[in-house]
């Protein structure tokens, strides 16, 4: 029999689906969002209700079966938003529970190998965000940094920025996913903006930018240009170390 689970596409929902599968002994061939059209020739359609208690029991089981590295990888893969990543996570979690030994390093298993690859990509994206975020001081004194990452890696960087810039109010905003974090000198809180058009090109417009910020940006551009040694330019290596998709957010690339 072919079965499809419909759930709300949240991580707790995914863990609830795992709980449901083991409770009913029915393991889905597909995981779809509630409201999606099921494939043809499906024998059973099951709607999973997200239950925090059930999700918590599954997570407790993972705490007992895996180490922090593996659990971090699960979170990274969820944040990847890659199509089918939830089904990959479902299979991986089931294999973890079904095995007497850890499956984390069994790279002969296609699911283990794929999960590890995706987790590394997301971790690398988080590193890129830390490297290439450029804050711009707004007219109201808040430092703003728009980003457009390939994966939803912003949450993985908030602890870093909260520690690194603890004495400043700042906003880092993901223009692709329409949300961000505002640090108010005490904690970082998730926000959404009613109008983020001013951030889409990676730069605050002149009316929203602090006057000193305009001067500092010009000084930084001049410094960057003066320090470049024309004879040692290596565009290929430059693009490898600083992907072009980040350039619109970098002050030094707006020369």
If pLDDT is split at 50, 70 and 90, which confidence band does 211 have? low
| pLDDT of res. 8 | 97
Mean pLDDT over 140-157 rounds to 94
Mean pLDDT over 201-225 rounds to 66
Q: Average pLDDT of the chain? A: 89
The label of the residue with tokens 């999606």 reads 36
Q: In the chain, pLDDT over 70 holds for what percent of residues?
A: 89
Residue 148 CA to residue 172 CA, distance in Å, equals 10
| pLDDT of res. 224 | 64
> Which residue in 137, 139, 146, 131 sits closest to 216, CA to CA?
137
Q: How far is CA 218 from CA 214, 222, 228, 246, 253, in A?
A: 6, 6, 16, 19, 11
| pLDDT of res. 62 | 96
Q: For the segment 125-135, what is each residue's pLDDT rounded down to a tens digit?
A: 999 999 999 89
* 2 CB-near residues (< 8 Å, 6+ apart): 29, 41, 42, 43, 44
**Cβ atoms 254, 203 nearer than 8 A:** yes
Q: Would you state the torsion angle of the CA atoms of residues 23, 29, 35, 36, taken in this order, to the nearest 10 degrees? A: 170
| pLDDT of res. 255 | 54
Q: Order across the sheet with 179-183: list the strands.
A: 136-137, 143-147, 170-174, 179-183, 188-191
- Examine the pLDDT at 223 and tell me if it is beyond 70: no
Q: pTM for the whole thing?
A: 0.86
Mean pLDDT over 151-175 rounds to 96
Mean pLDDT over 187-216 rounds to 75
Lowest mean pLDDT of 26-30, 76-80, 249-253, name the range: 249-253
| pLDDT of res. 221 | 64
Mean pLDDT over 29-47 rounds to 89
Handedness of CA 82, 148, 254, 240 (dihedral sign): negative
| pLDDT of res. 201 | 67
> Which residue in 137, 96, 88, 130 sits closest to 113, CA to CA?
88
| pLDDT of res. 2 | 83
**Cβ atoms 242, 132 nearer than 8 A:** yes
Lowest mean pLDDT of 74-78, 123-127, 164-168, 201-205, name the range: 201-205
Residue 138 CA to residue 214 CA, distance in Å, equals 10
Residue 192 CA to residue 5 CA, distance in Å, equals 31
| pLDDT of res. 137 | 87
């Amino acid at each position: 029999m072919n079965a499809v689970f419909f759930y709300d596409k949240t991580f707790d929902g995914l863990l609830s689906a795992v709980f449901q599968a083991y409770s009913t002994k029915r393991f889905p061939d597909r995981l779809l969002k509630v409201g999606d059209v099921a494939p043809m020739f499906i024998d059973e359609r099951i709607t999973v209700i997200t239950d925090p208690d059930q999700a918590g029991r599954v997570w407790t089981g993972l705490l007992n079966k895996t180490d922090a590295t593996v659990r971090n990888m699960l979170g990274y893969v969820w944040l990847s938003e890659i199509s089918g990543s939830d089904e990959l996570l479902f299979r991986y979690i089931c294999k973890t529970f079904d095995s007497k030994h850890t499956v984390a390093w069994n790279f002969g298993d296609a699911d283990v190998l794929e999960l590890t690859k995706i987790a590394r990509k997301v971790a690398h994206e988080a590193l890129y965000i830390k490297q290439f975020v450029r804050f711009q001081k707004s007219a109201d004194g808040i430092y703003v940094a728009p980003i457009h990452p390939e994966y939803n890696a912003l949450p993985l960087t908030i602890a870093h920025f909260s520690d690194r810039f603890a004495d400043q109010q700042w906003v880092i905003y993901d223009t692709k996913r329409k949300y961000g974090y505002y640090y108010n000198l005490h904690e970082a809180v998730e926000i959404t903006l009613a109008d983020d058009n001013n951030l889409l090109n990676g730069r605050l417009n002149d009316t929203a930018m602090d006057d000193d910020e305009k001067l500092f940006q010009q000084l930084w551009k001049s410094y960057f240009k003066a320090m470049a040694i024309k004879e040692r330019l290596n565009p290929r290596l430059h693009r490898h170390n600083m992907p072009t998709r980040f350039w619109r957010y970098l002050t030094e690339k707006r020369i």
